[in-house]
Structure 1
């Protein structure tokens, strides 16, 4: 006969995280072996997440588990991280939640049971400093890619308009090329001398 799972954590909480709210279930085992359950629902606004943190601490709960649902878990994790002994984030496929009609309270309780019984696998979450650095580097990469895309679009526009600046300048974003482009777009008549005046004396382009 299969034995029941052994409780690893006497007090723990399971969170069912959604975009606009979080359902929290705390289960604790008393000295007599009885399991006490309390549950509460919170909004995902910052102040309400802080209320969630305080509520967990008031119930002597320092271990929390939740699913990595989209990006919704991140604000919850950020608020609870420094106050809890562990905030475990799990891939939904590792939790094996029961199929059928969606029930937030049952899902949170199920997460709590699996976590308390040592049946969850934690996803790797880097520390706050690394997460911040990662966001900055990814943002920089995005800006660099966007700048490259805009540069290519500019060259294409010049090419289809019969302006071969990219064959004269190594970088059409430099000052000399920029002045020539502004001169062309001004709509005013211009001469070859006007164009040459835009070219810096330090420019290596043929004059």
Structure 2
């Protein structure tokens, strides 16, 4: 089983890589520590090829494994190991022994490899996760902008639903241009807001003391928000173009799910790679995403049933889809949400997690079987309508 195999184990750190090359008879034939510069990694690759390495397993944290993977992926079979599954016994911990242990586990086929997508999907992931980071920056800068406005006595955010709305943005941009007259600022607020709270209240809310420095700070925050918007649009356009080029069928198919449009479909493809053959069952995909309930029971007592850890980017977009789907009229997910929350009195957030899990299971079946989404609720309504129509036809025939 292990005959004539030469494998390598790599323990990857930020500034060093520990290499151990092992033969089929569990004999160490080469060990060395390398730096993490590109020249060092290429020297390590040459040493591995010189010793006849055909398989390599590595353990790493964060993103330090990616440059190593890129240098080796075209020359040998690679596996990225989860440190949780290859822990050693206590008292045997050192970087050199870690590399030996990884090589030995690889030699005996004890390593369950992590999911590493192909280069196209990796590029899509970079864009998708950049969008997540930009959205975080957007929220941060919007909150800072509102805080700067509040310091000046500006209270319009108390009377509008969203600081990203048109009324709030129009007033703030007018102030950034030096306009501080309350009468002119009130004219920029939507009439529905003025009628709801009263003209005098809204006028008091937009009245403030704005110094030259305050206006400069406000203008800079707005410029930062505009820059983030430009970068968001650029990233999303590139991500959509890649989906349409490489995954056109999957991209169209995913948008048949209630609540899934361009942003959600591209995010799902970027994180999963649209290749469901890597996940034997839908439950494997759910567990990888981190939407599977934890099974932690001892002495007939359930200690925890919270969801597990997993791909946080995919999980976040699925929760957002679940909120939209639960508000979509005449679909399975909104009906499910209504029954669970209103009739059975369950927590709404817990139901959103359940809906997200159902959506992910649907994604697995759709991409595996190459089928569009079929809404069971609508299908049953259609069946009931046809039955009722048939009954009416029979009754009219019997009457005649």
> What range describes the TM-score normalised by the shorter chain of this pair?
0.7 to 0.9
Partner of 2:143: 152
Partner of 1:187: none
Question: Please, which runs of 5 or more residues in structure 1 have no aligned partner?
Answer: 1-5, 185-189
**Mapping for residues 97-112 of structure 1, pairs under 5 Å:** 97-112=88-103
Structure-1 separation of matches of 2:53 and 2:37: 21
Pick the structure with more strand per residue: 1
Q: What's the offset of the Cα at 1:82?
A: 2.3
Structure-2 separation of matches of 1:71 and 1:89: 12
User: Is 1:58–2:50 an aligned residue pair?
Assistant: yes
User: Is 1:68–2:60 an aligned residue pair?
Assistant: yes
Q: What is the DSSP-based 3-state SS (H/G/I as helix, E as strand, rest coil) of the residue aligned with 1:105?
A: helix
Partner of 2:108: 117
Normalised to the residue count of structure 2, the TM-score between the two structures is: 0.41
User: Is 1:96–2:96 an aligned residue pair?
Assistant: no
Contact 1:11/1:61 (CA < 8 Å) preserved in 2? yes
Partner of 2:22: 27
Give the alignment's Cα RMSD to 1 decimal.
3.0
Question: Please, which runs of 5 or more residues in structure 2 have no aligned partner?
Answer: 192-400
Q: What's the offset of the Cα at 1:118?
A: 1.0
User: Is 1:180–2:175 an aligned residue pair?
Assistant: yes
Q: What is the DSSP-based 3-state SS (H/G/I as helix, E as strand, rest coil) of the residue aligned with 1:41?
A: strand
Q: What's the offset of the Cα at 1:128?
A: 2.0
Structure-1 separation of matches of 2:129 and 2:95: 34
Larger RCO: Structure 1 or Structure 2 (Cα < 8 Å, ≥ 6 residues apart)?
A: 1
Structure-2 separation of matches of 1:18 and 1:9: 30
**Mapping for residues 124-163 of structure 1, pairs under 5 Å:** 124-163=115-154
Residues 91 and 8 of structure 1: CA distance in aligned 2, closer, same or farther (over 3 Å): farther
Partner of 1:83: 75
Pick the structure with more helix per residue: 2
Structure-2 separation of matches of 1:146 and 1:34: 51
Partner of 2:37: 45
Structure-2 separation of matches of 1:125 and 1:95: 18
Residues 8 and 132 of structure 1: CA distance in aligned 2, closer, same or farther (over 3 Å): farther
Contact 2:20/2:28 (CA < 8 Å) preserved in 1? no
Q: What's the offset of the Cα at 1:96?
A: 2.6
Q: What is the DSSP-based 3-state SS (H/G/I as helix, E as strand, rest coil) of the residue aligned with 1:183?
A: coil
Residues 64 and 14 of structure 1: CA distance in aligned 2, closer, same or farther (over 3 Å): same
Contact 1:10/1:28 (CA < 8 Å) preserved in 2? yes
Contact 1:15/1:66 (CA < 8 Å) preserved in 2? yes
Per-residue CA shift, 1:11-44, capped at 9, x if unaligned? Answer: 1101122221111111124xxx684511121101
Structure-2 separation of matches of 1:9 and 1:93: 29
List, as ranges, runs of 4+ consecutive aligned residues in structure 1 with deviation greater than 3 Å: 33-36, 164-169, 171-174, 190-193, 203-206
Partner of 1:3: none
Residues 81 and 155 of structure 1: CA distance in aligned 2, closer, same or farther (over 3 Å): same
User: Is 1:170–2:166 an aligned residue pair?
Assistant: yes
